Amino acid sequence: MKKAFYRFAAAVVLCGVLFSCKKAEAGDVRNGGIILGFSQIGAESAWRNCNTRSVQEAAEQAGIQLVFFNAEQKQENQIKAIRSFIAYQVDVIAFVPIVSEGWENVLEEARDAKIPVLICDREITLEDQSLYAGYLGTDSAEEGRNAARYLVRKFMDPPPDPPDSSLEDSRGSGEVPSRTGPIRIVELRGTEGSSQAAKRAGGFKEVIGEYPEFRIIYSESGDFLRSKGYELMRAVLDEYEDVDVVYSHNDSMTLGAIDAMKERGIRPGTDIVIVTIDAEQAAINALKRGEVNCVVECNPKQGPDIMDLALRLARGESIPRISYMEEEVFTEWDDLSTLPPRGY
Ligand code: AHR
């Protein structure tokens, strides 16, 4: 607790040093020379680290002075960071809300200080929608729907043969797994209270809800962490004899769950169908090996769009209310041989 306070105090001092350079003048804004206060959640996954790199590199490229805070997974740290941005009168505030509720007061303070706010990556729930200018990130409900659409195709609508039959051994046969009774799904959810967890669960249920054959037998939050994905999967395998599918809200938890399956002699991707979200390189490699069946992309490379929107806000221009990143779905039936390295 004390350690966290000192770390935060040090960050505020650093912030003070940075802000001894003055707020942007009109001419600076035209040249991109603005100050952007950015509060990141933490470093819980390779996805998150890529998201951070993307923001930092894009700020440098755009000539934007970035004041960056890592909240170490705590909403209270994010609120303190936003208050320090307000105190130092940055030109624009951007932040990734770890959870969707509880932002009213600090956003009212930003509005009183006339500092525009951009919400990034995760969404927030507010009564007064005018408290922020816009949202840039991913469509998590659609990611959940895409995960479910893959399962519908896998179990209800048999796919064609793989594009290259020599890949058959390494990437599964594409056959509908044999089973009796319902299709038993284990869901590993993201951080409790986050928009990503709520929407990935909601979008998924929306699609599988049309098919009584699918049944979610277990659903727990693994906080987007590999260690918790491992722990949860061990608990699941202790409790349930038959699991047909693991639907995991991110790759980190999936990789942990795969470790737990292998320890028990279970073949991931063959004995249990695995659908995961993010598309980190490690998950794509697992898909190529046949240990994962479907990877739904969540695009972390949001930095350039964030800088573009921040500049527009600093110039007093309006921005779209919602901007979604482009995203793909990769399955065991796709030819992945030409897929470029993911970079995360
Ligand atoms: O908010 C995006 C999610 O947060 C990603 O899916 C996950 O990996 C990350 O930690």
Least confident of 2-6, 28-32, 337-341: 2-6
Structure letter (DSSP) for residue 64: -
Note every long-range contact of 65-68, with CB atoms under 8 Å and residues 24 or more positions apart, other chains counting: 65/18, 65/21, 65/33, 65/34, 65/35, 65/36, 66/36, 66/38, 67/15, 67/18, 67/19, 67/35, 67/36, 67/37, 67/38, 68/38, 68/40
Q: 249 alpha carbon to ligand 1 midpoint, in Å?
A: 8
> In ligand 1, which atom is closest to the CA atom of 122?
1
Q: At 111, list the tokens.
A: 């509005």
317 vs 324: CA distance, rounded Å:
19
The answer on pLDDT for 23 being more than 90 is no
Secondary structure E strands in the chain: 35-40, 65-70, 92-95, 117-121, 134-137, 183-189, 214-221, 245-248, 273-278, 294-297, 322-324, 329-331
65 vs 189: CA distance, rounded Å:
35
pLDDT at 166: 44
**Probe residue for ligand 1, chosen from 45, 54, 138, 140 as the CB with the greatest number of ligand atoms within 8 Å:** 45
pLDDT at 33: 82
146 CB near ligand 1 (under 6 Å)? no
pLDDT at 19: 47
Q: Which residue has the tokens 């049944």?
A: 215
Q: Minimal CA–CA distance to 103: which of 125, 74, 81?
A: 125
**How do residues 30-39 score in pLDDT, each as one tens digit?**
456 899 999 9
**How do residues 218-238 score in pLDDT, each as one tens digit?**
999 999 999 999 999 999 999
Question: At a CB cut-off of 8 Å and minimum separation 6, what does 40 contact?
Answer: 48, 51, 52, 55, 68, 69, 70, 71, 95, 96
End-to-end CA distance of the chain: 31
Q: 218 alpha carbon to ligand 1 midpoint, in Å?
A: 21
pTM: 0.88
Query: pLDDT band for position 181 (50/70/90)?
Result: confident
Q: Which residue has the higher pLDDT, 190 or 14?
A: 190
Helix (H, G, I), strand (E, B) or coil at 217: strand
Residues in a beta bridge with 294: 275, 331
Structure letter (DSSP) for residue 191: S
pLDDT at 10: 45
Distance from chain centroid for Cα 339: 21
Q: Minimal CA–CA distance to 139: which of 203, 91, 75?
A: 203
Question: At a CB cut-off of 8 Å and minimum separation 6, what does 105 contact?
Answer: none
The answer on pLDDT for 96 being more than 70 is yes
Q: Is 224 left (phi over 0), alpha (psi -120 to 50) or beta?
A: left
Mean pLDDT score of the chain? 90
Q: What is the CA radius of gyration of the chain?
A: 22
210-222: average pLDDT: 97
Least confident of 154-158, 193-197, 220-224, 269-273: 154-158
Name the percent of the chain in helix, strand, coil, to the closest 5: 45, 20, 40
> In ligand 1, which atom is closest to the CA atom of 194?
1
**How do residues 68-95 score in pLDDT, each as one tens digit?**
999 999 999 999 999 999 999 999 999 9
The pair phi, psi for residue 4, each rounded to 5°, is: -65, -40
299 CB near ligand 1 (under 6 Å)? no
Q: 23 alpha carbon to ligand 1 midpoint, in Å?
A: 32
The pair phi, psi for residue 272, each rounded to 5°, is: -130, 125
The pair phi, psi for residue 111, each rounded to 5°, is: -65, -40
Query: pLDDT band for position 158 (50/70/90)?
Result: low
Q: Which residue has the tokens 């046949």?
A: 290
298 CB near ligand 1 (under 6 Å)? yes
Q: 231 alpha carbon to ligand 1 midpoint, in Å?
A: 19
**How do residues 319-340 score in pLDDT, each as one tens digit?**
999 999 999 999 999 999 999 9
Residue type, 111: R
pLDDT at 97: 98
Query: pLDDT band for position 18 (50/70/90)?
Result: very low
Q: 143 alpha carbon to ligand 1 midpoint, in Å?
A: 12
Distance from chain centroid for Cα 104: 23
Q: 324 alpha carbon to ligand 1 midpoint, in Å?
A: 15
**Probe residue for ligand 1, chosen from 123, 253, 278 as the CB with the greatest number of ligand atoms within 8 Å:** 278
The crossing angle, in degrees rounded to 10, of helices 251-263 and 46-62 is 150
pLDDT at 192: 97
297 CB near ligand 1 (under 6 Å)? no
> In ligand 1, which atom is closest to the CA atom of 277?
6
